Amino acid sequence: MTDVLRRGRASLAFGFLVQGVTFALLVTRIPAIQDRYGISDGLLPVFLAAVPILAGVASVCTEQLVKRVPPSAVLRWSQPLVLLALLGVGAGDAMWHVAVALGAFGLSVGALDASMNMLGVSLQRAYGRSIMLGFHAAYSLGGIAGASLAWAGAHWDLSLFVSYLPVVVVLLPAALVGSRWYVDAGARDEGDDAEAGAGKGGPVVFKLLLPLCLVMSFAYIGDSTVSNWSAKYLQDVLGSSEELSTVPYNVYMVMTLVGRGLGDLGVRRFGAVAVVRAGSVVAALGFAVVAVAPGAWVGIAGFTVLGLGLCVIVPQTFAAAGRLFPGASDSAVARLNVFNYVGFLIGSPLVGGLGDAWSYRGAMLVPMVLVLVTLLYARSFAPEADRYGDGHERPRTADVGRSSNGL
C-alpha cells in the first residue's frame, strides 16, 4: 500500500474525528443555546428541524458540485465552515444571529457529510478491503471528546462562545493542514467501472438504491431515539436520578466506538452481509431489553447492547452504495446521505408522539421492528463483483486517481 493512501486514510479519519467533536458540541448544548437566545419550547423544534433539512439540500447539491470539483476540495472547505458556524452559534445575541448560524451549519454539514463519505467509499475501493467502519469509529471518538468538552463547559458555567472558541482555534487550522493529504481514490477508475457489469458503472438507479436508503433511515431513527430520548426514558420511565440518566448516551457512544473499531475485521472475516445481519439482531435485542427493563441499570445495559449492534449499519450502507454503483459512487453516496437526515427528522417526533399517546416502553418497540426490517435488505450489502470483505479481496492498488495536495 502506498504512502499516499496511508496518509489519505489518516487525514480522512482525522476529518471524521473533527466532525464528531463539532456535532457533539452543538447537540449537547442545545438547552444552553435555547436559554441564550430565548428560544421557546414551541419554536425550538423548528430550529432543530431546519438543520437536517438544509443539510439534505446541501447533500443533493454536493452531488452536482463534485462533477466539477473533487470531493476532497468540497470537504477541505466545508469543514472550516462547519467549525465557524459552530462558533457563530455561540457568538450571537439575537434570534436572527442563531438562525443564520444554524442555517450555515446545516448547509455546510450536508456538504461535509456527503463529501467525507464519498472519500471514505473511494478509499475503501482503492484499498480493496473494508476500512469504512474505522472512519466512523473516529467520528464516535470525536463525539465522545466533544460531549466531554461540552460537559466541562457546562460544569464550569462557561458561555457558549468561551466553550467553543478554543476548540475552533485548535481544530480549524489542524483540519486545513490535514486536508493536504486527502485523496480522491478508486471511484473514478474508468477501467474498473467498465468491468463492473451492466448497469453498475452507469447512472444511479434509485430503485436499486432504495433498499439502502430505507436501511439508512431505519438506522438513524434508532440513533436519534437514543440521542433524544434515552435520558428522559431512564428518568421518567425507569425512575433513575438526573445524574444517572446521562449515562445511557455515554455508554452508547463508547460502544459505537468499540463496535466500529472492531467492525472492519468482522467484515473482512465474515463479509458485510453477515456483519449487518448480526448488527441488526443485536440492536433489536438492545431495544427489546430497554422496552422491558425493570430498572435503570437494566435499561443502561440495553442501550449498551444497542450501541454495539447499531453502529455497524450506517458505515456499511455507504460502502454498499459505492459497490453497487462503482462508476457513480459519489452520486450514490450523496443521495443516500439525504436519508441520514430523513431518519433523524422522523425518529425523534415518532418516538415522542408514540410515547405521549401510548407509552414510551411501547415506543421503543417501533425502532426495534424497523431495525429488524434491515434483515430483509441484507443481501443489498453483498460485495458481488468486488468480493472484498468476503474472503476474496481484490489486489491492493496504488492507482489512487487524483491526489489533492496543498491548501
In a domain, 78, yes or no: yes
In a domain, 404, yes or no: no
Q: Are residues 215 and 119 in the same domain?
A: no
Q: Are residues 230 and 307 in the same domain?
A: yes
Q: Are residues 217 and 307 in the same domain?
A: yes
pTM: 0.89
Convert the pLDDT of each residue in 274-307 to its tens digit: 999 999 999 999 999 999 999 999 999 999 999 9
Its domain, for residue 155, covers 1-188
In a domain, 300, yes or no: yes
Q: Are residues 152 and 234 in the same domain?
A: no
Contact 131, 398 (CB under 8 A): no
Q: Are residues 175 and 73 in the same domain?
A: yes
Confidence check: pLDDT of 393 > 90: no
Question: Which of 149, 169, 188 is the last residue in one of the domains?
Answer: 188
In a domain, 31, yes or no: yes
Nearest-angstrom CA–CA distance, 5 and 131: 12
What pLDDT, on a 0 to 100 scale, did the predictor assign at position 202?
Answer: 63
Q: Give the DSSP letter string of 259-327.
A: HHHHHHHHHHHH-HHHHHHHHHHHHHHHHHHHHH-SSHHHHHHHHHHHHHHHTTHHHHHHHHHHHH-TT
Banded pLDDT at 233 (limits 50, 70, 90): very high
Q: How many residues does the chain have?
A: 407
Take residue 260 and report the three cell numbers written for it.
466500529
In a domain, 396, yes or no: no
Confidence check: pLDDT of 199 > 60: no
Nearest-angstrom CA–CA distance, 114 and 318: 10
Confidence check: pLDDT of 194 > 50: no
Residue range 403-407: average pLDDT? 39
Give CA angle at 146 (404, 161), nearest 5°.
95
Take residue 366 and report the three cell numbers written for it.
417501533
Q: Are residues 81 and 222 in the same domain?
A: no
Question: Which of 133, 156, 188 is the last residue in one of the domains?
Answer: 188
CATH code, domain carrying 173: 1.20.1250.20
Q: Are residues 150 and 230 in the same domain?
A: no
Nearest-angstrom CA–CA distance, 265 and 137: 13
* C-alpha closest to that of 162 among 249, 14, 32, 250: 32
Q: Are residues 374 and 265 in the same domain?
A: yes
Q: Are residues 320 and 381 in the same domain?
A: yes
Rounded to a whole number of angstroms, the CA Rg of the chain reads 20
- % of the chain at pLDDT higher than 70: 89
In a domain, 401, yes or no: no
In DSSP terms, 403 is beta-bridged to: 183
Q: Are residues 235 and 334 in the same domain?
A: yes
In sign, the C-alpha dihedral spanning 375, 380, 382, 383 is: negative
Q: How many domains does the chain have?
A: 2
Q: Are residues 61 and 77 in the same domain?
A: yes
Banded pLDDT at 1 (limits 50, 70, 90): low
